[in-house]
Amino acid sequence: MPSAKPTVLILCTGNSCRSHLAEGILRAAAGDLFDVQSAGSKPAGHVHPLAIQVMREIGIDIAAHRSKSMAEFLSTPIETVITVCGNADQACPIFPGQVNRHHWPFDDPALATGTEAEQLAVFRRVRDEIRRRFEAYAAGRRDALKSAPR
């Protein structure tokens, strides 16, 4: 049964890191307002273990997330599409019912090299950047709903 809440779809190329970080953060900040989903234009088939780890550090569990293709959502009414990498923005189709589209690119932490500590530092930085943007977005949408005519 479709959700009565509008769907926000977060897209990235691989749907293994950034889109899952954003999905988890937006769901925690505004899951009462939106059905939050993520997908990829070329799904990697897994969620990066370091993405799961850095989200657990801020109390958000994304261990049950799975890497999905944006094709799974082509027949779903999508209110807002947010792309978090350049490739997904270029590959992004128009979804049925789509009202809003945002492109907020973030560095890909999966490309981080070095020791695990150095890689974790990149994952944490990107997580924190995504958290600031998506929590601000949730707050703005919440404020807009409060001031909307009833």
* Cα 141 off chain centre by: 16
Q: Which residues contact 17 (CB under 8 A, 6 or more apart)?
A: 47, 48, 50, 51, 108, 109, 110, 123, 126
Half-sphere exposure of 36 (CA within 13 A, CB side): 21
Q: Which residue among 9, 12, 17, 25 is the active-site one? A: 12
Catalytic, 92? Answer yes
Q: Which residue among 29, 30, 92, 122 is the active-site one? A: 92
Catalytic, 85? Answer yes
Q: Which residue among 50, 70, 85, 130 is the active-site one? A: 85
Residues labelled catalytic: 12, 85, 92
